[in-house]
Amino acid sequence: MHGIGPPLVTPFTEDGDVDDAALRDLVGWVEARGVDFLVPCGSNSEAELMTADERARVVETVVDEASVPVLAGTGHPGRRETLQQTERAADAGADAALVITPFYYHHTHDALEAYYESVADESPLPVYLYSVPAYTDVALDPELVGRLSTHGNVHGMKDSSGSIDAFVRSKRATAEEDFDLLVGSGGVLAPALDAGGAGGVLALANVAPEAAAEVFRLHRAGDDDAARALNAELVELNRAVTAEYSVPGLKAAMRARGAPAGHVRSPHQPVGAETREELESLVDRLETLVSGF
């Protein structure tokens, strides 16, 4: 996986059902704006609020609609369900599996290593590690990432720690392997590319896919300064749709852009009027920005 892959939100109807039609529209909406691959059932998808069947169907729908590769989120706190979901993603035609560090229970680094090795041994799909301490309270150590990268079926990682220092260390620890190091924080896309990152899986790419894609394009064209300057224009919006207002903020911002984001699912609550206005103002600035591309 290279370039920009949005961790797709899942549009829900007002009643809380998965809105398949809107999901298909969303695939088209982001593809039309230049993304390189798609990531259904990541954290931004509210996957943890869906049943296993719903998650499998979301992957199926996205694979069916997509014209770019699909990296499907299949991780779960337990190994068995992780493998089941990975098999269903493989059956649906996904290209690779994004496997989050097992959460809820606390595990040692040794247990995490054994877990990933065992999952990679049996997974029918190439495995991408996924480290997102804001949700799981655990960050994969670069040394551990280095050891896991030598497994033939571990192909990369999404690092959502936000730490460029850790990103650089993971890059060094995996330098001998063919390993796609993807960044999961839109605020540091350009620095991560500077550090040898293969691309980004960014909440931001749901609401501003063309802008994220442009940062990647500028970087690949060798214009690092322009890539960083454009990325800097996106940091306030990025923060608002992640740390500040989370998925409800992301979906509100997407709706402000006209994207088929749908509703949130309980326990998520829609953002209030004041937050929505703040997001709309950030989206207005974004529209001005992307109109210049």
Question: What residues make contact with a second copy under the rule CB under 8 A?
Answer: 16, 46, 48-52, 77-81, 84, 102-108, 110-112, 114-115, 118, 135, 137, 162-165, 168-169, 171-172, 185, 187-188, 191, 194-195, 224, 228, 231-232, 235-236, 238-239, 246-247, 265-269
- Annotated catalytic residue within 116, 128, 130, 245: 130
- Please report, as a single letter, which amino acid is at residue 289: L
By beta-carbon proximity to a second copy, the closer residue of 162 and 260 is 162
- Annotated catalytic residue within 116, 158, 171, 245: 158
Peptide bond into 267 cis (omega under 30): yes
DSSP calls for 185-238: -GGGHHHHHHTT--EE--THHHH-HHHHHHHHHHHHTT-HHHHHHHHHHTHHHH
Nearest-approach distance from CB 16 to a second copy, in angstroms: 6
Q: Is 154 annotated as a binding residue?
A: no
The SS3 assignment for 139 reads coil
Nearest-approach distance from CB 31 to a second copy, in angstroms: 27
116 carries an active-site annotation = no
Nearest-approach distance from CB 28 to a second copy, in angstroms: 27
Q: Which two tokens stand for residue 198?
A: 């293969």
By beta-carbon proximity to a second copy, the closer residue of 67 and 269 is 269
Nearest-approach distance from CB 118 to a second copy, in angstroms: 6
Rounded Cα distance between 117 and 133, Å, is: 20
By beta-carbon proximity to a second copy, the closer residue of 107 and 151 is 107
Buried b vs exposed e over 42-61: b needs ≥16 C-beta within 10 Å? Answer: bbbbbbebbeeebbbbbbbb
Q: Which two tokens stand for residue 156?
A: 């990369």
171 carries an active-site annotation = no
Q: Which residues sit in the known binding site for pyruvate?
A: 201
Cite the active site residues. 130, 158
